Every structure is written in C-alpha cells, then in structure tokens.
Amino acid sequence: MQVTLQTLIGGLSLGAVYALVAMGFSLVYRTMGLVNFAHGNVVTIGAYVASTFYMSAKLPFALAMVVAIVVTGLVGFVIEFVLRPLENKDFDLMLIGTIGFGIVLDALAIIIWGATGRAVPSPVPAAPIDLFGLRIRTYDLVVLAIAAAAMLMLMLFLQRTKRGAAMQAVAMDHEAATAVGIHVGRSNSIAFVIGAGLAALAGGLVGPMLYVSPTMGGALGIKGFAGAILGGFGSIPGAIVGGLAIGVLDAFAAGHFQGYSELVTFLVFTAVIMVRPTGLFGERTVNRA
C-alpha cells in the first residue's frame, strides 16, 4: 500500500507537468482549431532558458522560471504573428508552419546550448518528507503546488476576466465574435503566448526531475498531446485530468512493466480513445469549415 501511494504521488507530479503541456495544446486548439506541433519544442526552449538562468546566471529558481515564461511567451507571439496571414488563406499551411517552427527551435537549442544536455539540481532539499508514513520527495510537492496554482490561474482568467471571456467567445464562433467587436487576431496571439508560457513552466519544472536535452520536448510533447486527447482536445479541465491520468498510468506501468512502460501506457490510452473517441470531457474547438 505504501509503495502504491508513493508511486501515485510521483505519477501525479509528472502528470502535472504533462497537464501543463496538454493545457497549452488545448488552449490554442480551442481558440483557433489549430494543433501547434511546435509546442513540444517550446517546452525544450523553456527548460533550457530556466536551467541557464538558474545554474549559470545564479538566479533564484522562481525568478529563472519567470524569465523562461517571458522568453517563451515572446516565442509564442512570434510564431502566431508569422503564421497569422495564412489563417484565412490556407489553414493547412499554417499547420505545416508550426512543424517548421518546431524544427527551427530544435536547431536553435542545439546551436545555443549544444547537443549533450544537462542535469539540473533540485531547488529544494533533496531529503524526502515523511508524511503519514510515506516518504515523499519534496520537489514532487513543489511541482504539484506550482502546477495547481497555474491551472487555477488559467481557469480564473478564462472565466472571470473580459479578455478570457473574449477568448471563450472566439473559441465558440469566430464570425459571431468578430461581429460583436472582438479582435480575433489578438485572442489568437494571447492563446499562443499563454500556451508557450505553460510550455516553459512545464519545461522548467521538469528540469530537476529529468535530464534536460534537445530531445526532451519531443517526449513531453507526445505525453502532453496524449493527455489533451484523452481529456477531450480543446477542453481545459479535460487537459488537466488527461495529463494527470497519463502521468499516473506511466508511473504504475514503469513500476510493473519497466522497459515496456510506454507501450503499456499508450495501449491503455488507445483502448480508452477507442471506447470514447472525443475524450473524457468531449472535444471543444472552433468551427473551421
């Protein structure tokens, strides 16, 4: 029982990272109907920027995370700004353009930081905490707390602010939102910026848990993408639940199947999607027809 609970907490902490990535995917998709295939690569940039300012510039970990969020937010803005002219001309080209940006970001990461990667030390004491007989890594609790705060802030932004309400309207109907004076392009930019910021937060948080390398974004991107689909692509609550579920499933599969953990994870994922193709919460997106 104790091992099961410890595995559950470890899975939730990694699942929280997947959930942040999934939220970035879903936010852009629900606003624009676009899958941003560069999202995983933005995670890599965020992880490298956070680790650089934390380890090399000796900034506090929290401040390094803020810098990474700002930098990747600018990256997200540039991606949307460059691709915006394609939105009303050829949406498929816009989709392909995100793949191109992903390749460029991967190349930039290798040019700037090299191809070897780095290990990031934990910003909190490494000694585990004894909680009701469980030995829990302190950093796991930090990740869960930060991720939960980010999820809550995004939900409050979308539901309690005028800009969030405007983005919700754009997600429901572009034409109707334009008719009532909402700037659709601005909402799309904000969706990309917030999505990129969530990617940076995920990358920065996962740095002390995994090895930061140019390929890390691919693995995290796939798991986050799977979490978004599992929860219902375009649904923010679905992205949270889906990401957490993928993390927990991954943790238990690693404990029981070791080298076949990812195979087991995606077999279960495939089985769920076959039963419920729209995901647990149902797909939400704009109508691109």
CA angle, 224 as apex, 271 and 14 as ends, to 5°? 100
Least confident of 24-28, 220-224, 285-289: 285-289
Instruction: Provide long-range contacts, Cβ within 8 A and 24+ apart, for 251-255.
Output: 251/7, 251/8, 251/10, 251/11, 251/14, 251/15, 252/7, 252/8, 252/11, 255/3, 255/7
E-assigned strands of 79-177?
129-131, 134-136
The answer on pLDDT for 268 being more than 90 is no
Work out the average pLDDT over 199-213: 92
CB 25 within 8 A of CB 199: no
The structure's pTM equals 0.91
Least confident of 34-38, 53-57, 159-163, 181-185: 181-185
The answer on pLDDT for 286 being more than 60 is no
pLDDT score recorded for residue 289: 42
pLDDT in tens, 62-117: 999 999 999 999 999 999 999 888 877 777 888 899 999 999 999 999 999 998 88
The answer on pLDDT for 158 being more than 60 is yes
pLDDT score recorded for residue 282: 72
How far apart CA 169 and CA 275 sit, in angstroms, is 30
Chain centroid to Cα 22, Å, comes to: 5
Where does the pLDDT of residue 6 fall: very low under 50, low under 70, confident under 90, or very high at 90 and above?
Answer: confident
The answer on pLDDT for 285 being more than 80 is no
- 70 versus 283: the higher-pLDDT residue is 70
Q: Which among 12, 9, 22, 11 is positioned nearest to 237, based on CA atoms?
A: 22
How far apart CA 60 and CA 53 sit, in angstroms, is 8
CA angle, 280 as apex, 276 and 285 as ends, to 5°? 95
pLDDT score recorded for residue 182: 79
CB 270 within 8 A of CB 221: no
Neighbours of 95 (CB within 10 A): 16
The answer on pLDDT for 186 being more than 90 is no
How far apart CA 181 and CA 221 sit, in angstroms, is 35
Q: Which residues pair with 134 in a beta bridge?
A: 131
Sign of the alpha-carbon torsion through 113, 38, 232, 269: negative
HSE-up (13 A, CA, CB side) for residue 37: 14
Q: Which residues pair with 130 in a beta bridge?
A: 135
- 150 versus 174: the higher-pLDDT residue is 150
